[in-house]
Structure 1
Amino acid sequence: MGHITFLVAVVIATALAFDFTNGFHDTANAMATSIATGALRPKVAVLISGVLNLVGAFLSTEVARTVSGGIVDDALVTPAMIFAGLVGAILWNLMTWLLGLPSSSSHALFGGLIGAVWVGAGEHGVHFEMVVEKIIVPAVLSPVVAGVAALLATYLAYRLTRRARERTVGRGFRIGQIASASMVSLAHGTNDAQKTMGVITLTLISCGALGKQAGPPVWVIGTAGLAIGLGTYIGGWRIIRTMGRGITDIQAPQGFAAEAASTAVILSSASLGFALSTTQVCSGGILGAGIGRRLAEVRWGVASRMAVGWLVTLPSAAAVGAVAAAVVVHGGTAGIVVIAVLTAAVAGGIVLLSRRNPVRADNVNDAHDVAVRPSAPAVAAA
C-alpha cells in the first residue's frame, strides 16, 4: 500500500462515490417490476436488492478485468485521467436520475474513461476494437435478446395459465417474482460492482501498487460491493417509477418473465467478460414483456426517449470526462481541486432540484405520467 498517494486515495474515493450513484440509479433494474406489481413492498425490495448486490460482487471478476486492462491502455493511464473519467460518469448519472431517465451507468463510466484517456494520453490510449467488441456490440444485442426472451416467456405464461383463476395466477407469479427479482439483484452486483472494481484496479496498476493485468484485490471487491449495495438500498425511486409504471402496465406474469430473461442475459454475459448495461437489458426485458401480453399498453414515447438517452450517454459522459481531463492533467493539484469543487457544486444543485417534487417509497407506484419529462421541472427521488 506504499504506492497509495493522496491523488490515488482521492480517485478510489471518487470511484466508490460513482459506485454508490450506480446503486441508487440502477435499483430499478432489479426491483421496479416487483414493486409495481406489489410482489414486494418498496423498502423491503431495496433492502433485498442491496444485500444481494453485495453478495453478487464476489461471484466473478471477469468484467473487472475487461475494465482494468481491456478498453484503455493501462500503461498510459494516470490516476488524474481516471478521476476525470469518473467525474463525467457521476455527473451523467445524477443528471439522468434527476430526469427519471433509465440510462446506463456502465456506459457513463466507459464514456467518461474513454474521453479522459483520449485527451490525456491520445487516441492510442483507447483500445477501440475492445470498445466495439465488449461494449458497443453487447449494447446493441443484449436488450434485443432480453426483449425477445421476455416476450416469449410472457406469451407462454399467459398461454399456460389461461384456464386458471386470475387471482391465483397473480399470487403465484408474485411469489415467483421475489425469486426472479432477487436473481436480477445478484446479477447486477456481479456485473455492475465489477466495473468499479476494474476502475480501482486500473488506478492501482497505474500507480504501481499492482502488477500489469492484475485482478482486483479482496478489499477492492468488498468495498465496491458495499458501496453499490448501500446505493441500492437508498432507492432511486424516480427511475423505479419510470421502469415499473412508465414503459408498460406490468402484471405479475410479465414481471416474472422480464426478470427471468434479464437475469439469464446478464449472468451469462458477465461470465464472458462482456460489460453489459443492466439498465438496457432490464428495460428490453420489460418492453418485451409488455409486447408479449395481449392488449397491453406499451408507451412507445417513453421507450423512444429512453433509447435516445442510451445513444447519447457514452458520448455525453466522454465529453465531460474529456473537459475534466483537460483541466486536471495539465492543471495538476490545482486542476483537481477545481474539478472536485465544481463537481460537488453541480451534484449539490441537482440534489436541491430533486426536492421540488419528491418521489419516495410511499408514492413510487403513482401514475406514470410524471416520469421521464426532460423539459419539465425536476422530478425528484429520495
Structure 2
Amino acid sequence: MLEIPLLLVVIIVVALIFDFTNGAHDCANAIATVVSTKVISPKVAVIMAAGLNLFGAFLGEEVAHTLGSGIVNTDMVMGCQALVLAALIGAIAWNLITWYFGIPSSSSHALIGGLMGAAVAYSGFGTLNGPSIAKKILLPLVLSPLAGFAVGFLFMSLLALGLWKVSRQRVSSTFHRLQILSAAFMATSHGLNDAQKTMGVITLALFIFHEIDTIHVPFWVKFICASAMAAGTALGGWKIVKTMGHRIFKLEPVHGFAAETSAALVITGASAFGAPISTTHTITACIFGVGSTKRLSAVRWGIAGNLVVAWVLTIPASALIAALSFWLLDLMGFVQ
C-alpha cells in the first residue's frame, strides 16, 4: 500500500490553496479590461478565463523547473521538509493582505519571496541559487513591466496609426468583438505562467520528501494545479478588476485589445524562457503604456505609485512572513 507522509499531504493541500488564491487574485489579469469595456458580462468572462487558465497550464513546464530548482539549492535543503510549507504560508498571507485591500500585487513574487525567506531561515543565504535568481527572477522582475509598457505603447501607437481614418464608432464596434480573442489569449498565457509556479513548488516538495528522483513535474501535479487555479479564477477578484479596469484610465475596446494582446505576448515569451514573471505587473504596465498613447494626463499616475510600492514590498514582505513561519514551525517541532 502506498504510504505518503502526512506533512507532504499538508504541503500539497496548502500549495493548492495558494494556487486557488492565485487564481482568484490574478483573475483580473485576464478579464479586467474585457469587463470594464463591457464587451462581455463578468460571469461569462470569469468562466472563459477559468477554462483557458486550465488549458494554458498544460502547455509547458519551463517555469515550474525554475521554481523547483532555480531559487534554492536543492541539495542544501534536501532534509528540510517544513521549508515549502513555510514558504507557502508567507505567500498566501501576502496574497490575502493585498487581495483584501484590492492591490494588484504579484502572487508570483509572493511565492518566490516565501521560498527565499524560508530557505534563508533554515540555513542562511547560501541556500539561495544566486545566479539563477539574478537571471530568471530579478532581471525579469525589472524588465517585464518595462517590456509591458513599451510593447503596449508601441502596439497601441501602430493601431492608432493604422486606424486614424476609420470612424470611432466603427473602431469601437470592431474591437468590441476582437477583444474577446485578446482576453482569451491573455487567459491562456496566464495559465501557462502562473499555474506552473505551484507545480514547481509541489515538485520541489516531492523531491525533498524523496518521492521523485529529479525535478520533473508529474502529470497528476499538472492536473491538480491547473484545476485549483481554474477554480480560483472562477471565484474572481472583483476589487482588483475595478482597480485595473477603471482606476488607471478609462478603457475603450481598442485599448483593452491592445493591452491584453501586448501582455499575452510578453508573458508567453517569458514562459518560454522559464521566467516566472508577474502577470499582474505585466498587464498593468501594458495598460499604462496603452493609456499613455492617448495622452499622459489620461493615466492616473498616482495609482502607479501605489502599485510600485506594493511591487517593491512583495518579495521582502512575503520572505519575512515565511521566515517567521519557519521559525514557528521549528518551535513546534516540525523542522527535523
Give distance in 2, aligned partners of 1:204 and 1:109: 17
1:104-123 alignment to 2 at 5 Å? Answer: 104-123=106-125
Aligned position for 1:159: 161
Give distance in 2, aligned partners of 1:330 and 1:131: 29
Contact 1:155 1:293 in 2 (8 A): no
Cα distance change, pair 136–65 in 1 and its aligned pair in 2 (3 A): same
Structure 2: state its 5+ residue gaps. Answer: none
The letter for the 2-side match of 1:146 is G
Give distance in 1, aligned partners of 2:167 and 2:55: 37
Aligned position for 1:308: 309
Say which structure, 1 or 2, has more relative contact order (CA 8 Å, 6+ apart).
2
Superposition deviation, residue 182 in structure 1: 0.6
Give distance in 2, aligned partners of 1:296 and 1:31: 25
1:259-338 alignment to 2 at 5 Å? Answer: 259-294=260-295, 297-333=298-334
Match of 1:175 among 147, 168, 177: 177
The letter for the 1-side match of 2:42 is P
Aligned position for 2:95: 93
1:15-30 alignment to 2 at 5 Å? Answer: 15-30=15-30
Give distance in 2, aligned partners of 1:84 and 1:76: 16
How many pairs were matched up? 334
Cα distance change, pair 51–268 in 1 and its aligned pair in 2 (3 A): same
Aligned position for 2:50: 50
Superposition deviation, residue 330 in structure 1: 4.0
Cα deviation, 1:9-65, whole Å, max 9, x if unaligned, reads: 000000000000000100111110111111121111111000001111100000001
Contact 1:53 1:225 in 2 (8 A): yes
Give distance in 2, aligned partners of 1:171 and 1:139: 36
Q: Work out the percentage of aligned pairs sharing the same amino acid.
A: 42
Aligned position for 1:237: 238
Give distance in 2, aligned partners of 1:2 and 1:321: 31
Aligned position for 1:369: none
Give distance in 1, aligned partners of 2:293 and 2:86: 43
**What SS is found at the alignment partner of 1:332?**
coil
**What SS is found at the alignment partner of 1:79?**
coil
Aligned position for 1:379: none
Aligned position for 1:372: none
Contact 1:154 1:293 in 2 (8 A): no
Give distance in 2, aligned partners of 1:68 and 1:148: 31
Superposition deviation, residue 2 in structure 1: 4.1
| Cα RMSD after superposing both structures | 1.5
Superposition deviation, residue 133 in structure 1: 1.0
Give distance in 1, aligned partners of 2:151 and 2:317: 31
Aligned position for 1:371: none
Give distance in 2, aligned partners of 1:92 and 1:75: 28
Aligned position for 1:365: none
Cα distance change, pair 199–260 in 1 and its aligned pair in 2 (3 A): same
The letter for the 2-side match of 1:202 is L
Give distance in 1, aligned partners of 2:123 and 2:221: 26
Contact 1:158 1:253 in 2 (8 A): no
Aligned position for 2:40: 40
Contact 1:257 1:289 in 2 (8 A): yes
1:117-132 alignment to 2 at 5 Å? Answer: 117-132=119-134
Structure 1 residue ranges (4+ consecutive) displaced by more than 3 angstroms after TM superposition: none
Give distance in 2, aligned partners of 1:3 and 1:137: 41
**What SS is found at the alignment partner of 1:39?**
coil
The letter for the 1-side match of 2:90 is G
Superposition deviation, residue 172 in structure 1: 0.8
Q: Please, what TM-score do these two structures have when normalized by structure 1?
A: 0.85
Give distance in 2, aligned partners of 1:42 and 1:181: 12
1:164-203 alignment to 2 at 5 Å? Answer: 164-203=166-205
Contact 1:290 1:296 in 2 (8 A): no
**What SS is found at the alignment partner of 1:59?**
coil
Superposition deviation, residue 162 in structure 1: 2.2
Contact 1:37 1:251 in 2 (8 A): yes
Superposition deviation, residue 75 in structure 1: 2.4
Superposition deviation, residue 246 in structure 1: 1.2
Superposition deviation, residue 210 in structure 1: 0.4
